[in-house]
Amino acid sequence: SQTIHQWPATLVQPVGSPLSLECTVEGTSNPNLYWYRQAAGRGLQLLFYSVGIGQISSEVPQNLSASRPQDRQFILSSKKLLLSDSGFYLCAWSILGQLQETQYFGPGTRLLVL
Amino acid sequence: DAKTTQPPSMDCAEGRAANLPCNHSTISGNEYVYWYRQIHSQGPQYIIHGLKNNETNEMASLIITEDRKSSTLILPHATLRDTAVYYCIVGDINDYKLSFGAGTTVTVRA
């Protein structure tokens, strides 16, 4: 069966510090991968998605970047965090090539920037 | 540019059916209706999806009107663990993305 891992579960970082959040998927090959952010009391905002190694599409201009160095690894990064980067970051995967876009979400990372 | 409209909140009695409405009047022929839910502090969970026929699985039933402009998610016997935000999403089969709106906060009460 497929599983998706995210770490860390919780992170407190000072403004201006770098960020690296990691997401890995097990039990599937060539998945679509996604990063979402959910600010407190708000809906999910799609940040990035990837259909293959090294292929990243950005949905909104922001202080963050994403990379996919391996097939089942998706990394969210920032060189300098802003207060507005606080939120609940969710990684998700779906089956590449399937027309029906069912996404499976990880447990999330709760980031607080102080 | 939300493609769906849902009530912001609703209450349901434990053990009763919960009927969650969703309007998607601008849905196109290639677009499916998806339902996800998000229990507090967890990632969203896929529930069900459909194109034009009614669908049922172990979690819920999805009823789509004939003109496809609206749908209803039915939780047949709501439990306290069904308390969550429920998202109705319209997604193009040729697209990779799902756009989550505000959803409906469902509270199941004992």
**CB distance from A28 to chain B under 8 Å?**
no
pLDDT value of position A39? 85
Question: Of chain B residues 20-59, which have a CB less than 8 A from chain A?
Answer: 32, 34, 36, 41-46, 49
Contact criterion met (CB < 8 Å) for A104 and B98: no
Q: What is the structure's pLDDT at B95?
A: 72
Lowest mean pLDDT among A53-57, A100-104, B76-80: A100-104
B5 CB-contact burial (10 Å; exposed 0-12 / middle 13-18 / buried 19+): middle
pLDDT of residue B98: 78
CB contacts < 8 A (A, B): 56
Answer whether residue A81 shows pLDDT above 70. Answer: yes
Contacts of B34 (CB under 8 A, 6+ apart): A101, A102, B46, B48, B49, B88, B89, B90, B91, B98
The confidence band for A101, taking pLDDT boundaries of 50, 70 and 90, is low
Contacts of A48 in chain B (CB under 8 A): none
Q: Is pLDDT at A72 greater than 70 in this prediction? A: yes
In terms of C-beta density within 10 A (0-12 exposed, 13-18 middle, 19 or more buried), how is residue A18 classed?
exposed
Percentage of residues in chain A with pLDDT exceeding 70? 94
Mean pLDDT, to the nearest integer, of B80-107?
88
Asked if B43 lies within 8 A of A106 by C-beta distance, the reply is: yes
Q: How far apart are CA A57 and CA B5, in angstroms?
A: 27
- Establish if A101 touches chain B: CB-CB under 8 angstroms: yes
Does residue A99 have a pLDDT over 50?
no
Query: How far apart are alpha carbons A108 and A91 in whole angstroms?
Result: 7
Residue A36 has pLDDT above 90, yes or no: yes
Residue of B nearest to A102 (CA): B46
The tokens describing B49, both together, are 């999806």
Judge whether A103 is closer than 8 Å to chain B, CB to CB.
yes
Nearest-by-CA chain B residue for A31: B96
